[in-house]
Structure 1
Amino acid sequence: MSGPLYVPVLPTKPHAAGVFRRLWPDVRAVIRPLWNLPPLPGVLPEALGTVIGTYVDRVSAVSRHGGWIDAPFGEDAQAAALAEALAVYCELGWLRPVTGPERTAEQQAGAVETARRCLRGLGVRVRVTGEWDGRLGEGVRGLLALTGPEMPLHLLVDMGAVLDDRPDAGKEALRTLDALMPLAVWRSAALLGGGFPRATADMLEEGSCEASRAEWRMWHEVRATGRAYVPLLGYGDYGVQPPGALAQAPTPGRKGGPPWGALRYTTDSAYFVVKTLTRGPDRVAVNRAAARRIIELAEFRGSGAGPGEEWLSDCANGPLTSSEGVGGPTEWLKAGNLQHMTHIVRSLSDG
């Protein structure tokens, strides 16, 4: 396969950049993230460059091996300023611009021009929200007419919005790939699925729950077909947050939040989620017990498997008299993503 082994779909937020920096070097070397700017409602075009810099500076610094930068929630009035601001990072760093068939003509033109200047190619992100729609194929054809035959093209088939409980997700992915792969000589291609389900109070009423890895099943269904393009196809997912988390606009100064959170662990066949507490007198005891539930799983791979497992083991074995190492929502996200991303790379390398 000429493309990346793993394409995680990540937000341009401090916790995600911190995770990528803490991955072991051999794991990080085969990952090419698809970084996503959050919605920036009401930010004036003249201020976008400064605002975007606060997000992209941190991910550009950790993306030495490459990746993509996307602004999927950009407003029409922001298109030109977004393209100009992101072009700086694509030209001076290792990130590639992204567009898609549903984007505005101005956004598409800006991404194509940036790709032409940075010489590292263009990411074509095709978002499938249900059944395959042939109009998406027509939109991709129109987009490719702008690029010219010399431009390196990277296909990102995003099935993240296809519900986890749909048994036909693999079939829809195949229909999509069968339609799109013949349209160009793709430098690389990746099939992006969902990820962990959104943790809710109802889901964790019993303290923990398991969910199947639907996107992993979809990936294997596609590979099992033996299509000629399968060796070219990379794997991608949204990590330990659901796809909808990317659409959350930043809320500076926000305080509070629910009194509970979650620790997450990826096994070969399932996602395991355990309830934690963010406050209260029982917080330390409950959270260390949550980590112990994970490390006592038959599928737990041991503290030496990666930095995520190491953190969970340290948390589980810490003293009840101290909150050190218990963490909070941000640290739980980091530990979950460190474990998940390391496990994905190991699984793909072994398979």
Structure 2
Amino acid sequence: MTEPTTEPIYVPALPARRNALAAYGALAPDVRAAVTPLWTVPPRVGPPRTPGHGRPHPPDPDALALGSHVHRALAGIARVQRDRPAWVDTRHVESGPRAFATGPPPLRPVTGTERAAWQQVACAEAAAAGGDGLGVRVRPARAVSDGRWAEGVGRLLHRIAFARCPVDLLLDLGPVDDTDHGAHRLALHALELLGPLHPWRSVVLLAGSFPRTHPEGYGAALTETGRADRDLRDLLRHTTGGLGPRPVYGDYGAHDPASADRVSDTGDDAFRGALRYTTTRTFLVGEVRADRPDHHLTVRAHARDIVDTAEFRGAAYSRGDRWLQACADGSGPPGTAHPDAWICAGHLQHLTHVARELRRNG
């Protein structure tokens, strides 16, 4: 692979946490050249946030701790990006105009129709100063078919027009699954309405299908779930010919779409984790309870199950595949490490597989 142009090839929406940051930083150069992340800074405290509902979340009770949390996240993003472009969404940690923060160029701030007017203006000002543009993240309303939510996008574009900078449309469908047949129609409708509103630098279609809750059969053996987000990409490839720019594929890496909206990466139980592997059409998932004294035996058993499948691409394919192979044959870390390591390995193999697949198939 060669270095990309300004057009992104693959956009994973990732939480700005240690495991995802480490995974992106450890990607092989050919994969990094194809990946332009959308980072979301997760909340520091509080319950899970539901994006797109328009309700302001309670302010963080400790402004100093919040500032440190944001600083660490932005510094971590800047460190792993190594002067490569990415979008940064700080919706969970913005408490007011004076607290608005974004990373150094070429990190691109993100706004949206549900954001306060001060945030939209501050985002545009930061983009104008940085010179690398901004992202407009839109979550289409499934219950609204008359385009009223598209009017909100028009108002936002008018408000930020003073910045005179490139703007990317980040069309976020959130979670989709095998029964969500309306996602394809919703995506087409949104592209038809929003495409003509602006000469977008790029249009990214984000969707995720890694399971948030335990699928049926989740337990000792690996569970297989369909990759509905990938199927959506294939459908759109054949039906968006006359709707403006071809959408860039985006997903949520090897995690569920709500990951960045929670304080903990592993849900309510901080000791729950999973081994995960991405095949062409499915996710292989194995639950692990790290609070049990013999959890390392479960981890190694799941790793052996993964590497024994016909879909395993081999230890040389990525550092995530290498970690799984070492875990399976017993040459990995004693105790098989922490859930952060399992999630990191999952992101590494997923990002590598998707980026190379997109480059190969065009």
- Contact 2:177–2:227 (8 Å) recurs in 1: no
Q: Distance in 2 between matches of 1:142 and 1:199?
A: 37
In structure 2, which of residues 144, 155, 160 is the aligned counterpart of residue 142 of structure 1?
A: 155
Match of 1:233 among 244, 247, 268: 247
Letter in 1 for 2:274: A
**Residues 169, 204 of structure 2: 8 Å contact kept:** yes
Q: CA deviation at 1:45?
A: 5.2
| Secondary structure of 2:334 counterpart | coil
The residue type paired with residue 80 of structure 1 is P
**Structure 1 residues 287 and 170: alpha-carbon distance in aligned structure 2, compared to 1, 3 A threshold:** same
1:18 corresponds to: 22
Secondary structure class of the residue paired with 2:312: coil
In the other structure, the counterpart of 1:51 is: 69
Q: Residue type of the partner of 1:71? A: T
Greater fraction of residues in helix: 1
**Counterpart residue number, 1:28:** 32
Q: Which residue is 2:336 aligned to? A: 326
Give secondary structure in 2 for the equivalent of 1:315.
Answer: helix
Alignment-mate amino acid for residue 299 of structure 1: E
Aligned residue pair count: 339
Q: Which runs of 5+ in 1 are unaligned?
A: none
1:346 to 2:346 alignment: no
Aligned to 2:189: 175
TM-score normalised per structure 1: 0.88
1:79 aligns with 2:96: yes
Distance 1:98 1:331 in 2: 29
Name the % identity. 37
Determine the C-alpha separation between the residues in 1 that align with 2:263 and 2:294: 32
- Alignment deviations for residues 157-177 of structure 1 (CA, whole Å, 9 cap, x no partner): 001145553112111111111
Which of 304, 308, 315 pairs up with 2:316?
Answer: 304
Distance in 1 of aligned mates of 2:189 and 2:215: 36
Q: How many Å apart are 1:208 and its aligned residue?
A: 2.0
Q: Does 1:275 align with 2:293?
A: no
1:130–1:161 Cα contact (<8 Å) kept? no
Q: 1:201: how far off?
A: 8.2
Q: Specify the code of the residue in structure 2 equivalent to 1:53.
A: H
Matched residue type, 2:148: R
Contact 1:315 1:325 in 2 (8 A): no
Deviation at 1:128, TM superposition (A): 2.7
CA separation of 1:141 and 1:124: change in aligned 2, threshold 3 A = same
- How large is the Cα RMSD of the aligned pairs? 2.5
How far 1:147 sits from its partner (Å)? 2.7
* Aligned partners of 1:128 and 1:162 also within 8 Å: no
CA distance in 1, matches of 2:38, 2:87: 5
How many Å apart are 1:276 and its aligned residue? 2.9
Structure 2 counterpart of 1:154: 168
Q: Identify unmatched segments of 5+ residues in structure 2.
A: 45-58
2:78 is aligned, of 47, 60, 64, to 60
* Inter-CA distance 34–269: structure 2 relative to 1 (3 Å threshold): same
Q: Label 1:203 to 1:135 Cα distance change in 2 as closer, same or farther (>3 A).
A: farther
d(CA) in 2 for partners of 1:129, 1:206: 38
TM norm structure 2: 0.86
What residue identity is the alignment partner of 2:233?
Answer: W
The answer to whether the 8 Å contact 1:132/1:175 transfers is no
Residue identity opposite 1:182 in structure 2: P
Matched, 1:123 2:135: yes
Q: Contact 1:125–1:156 (CA<8 Å) still a contact in 2?
A: yes
Q: Is the 8 A contact 1:130 1:162 kept in 2?
A: no
Say whether residues 1:291 and 2:291 are aligned partners: no
Q: Give, in angstroms, the shift of residue 7 of structure 1.
A: 0.8
1:5 aligns with 2:9: yes
Q: CA deviation at 1:277?
A: 4.1
**Which amino acid in 2 is paired with 1:60?**
A
Deviation, structure 1 residue 51: 3.0
Paired position in structure 2 for 1:70 = 89
Give the letter aligned to residue 227 of structure 2. R
Distance apart, 1:226 and its partner CA: 4.2
Q: Give the drift of 1:341.
A: 0.5
Would you say the 8 A contact 2:177–2:229 is kept in 1?
no
Closer, same or farther: CA 28–147 of 1 in aligned 2, 3 Å? same
Aligned CA distance change for structure 1 residues 281 and 46 (closer, same or farther; 3 Å): closer
Distance in 1 separating the partners of 2:301 and 2:273: 14
> 2:202: which partner in 1?
188
The amino acid across from 1:235 in the alignment is Y
Alpha carbons 2:127, 2:133 under 8 Å: kept? yes
Aligned to 2:113, what secondary structure does the other structure show?
A: coil
CA contact (8 A) 2:9 2:358 kept: yes
8 Å contact 1:318–1:325 — kept in the other structure? no
Give the match's secondary structure for 1:96.
strand
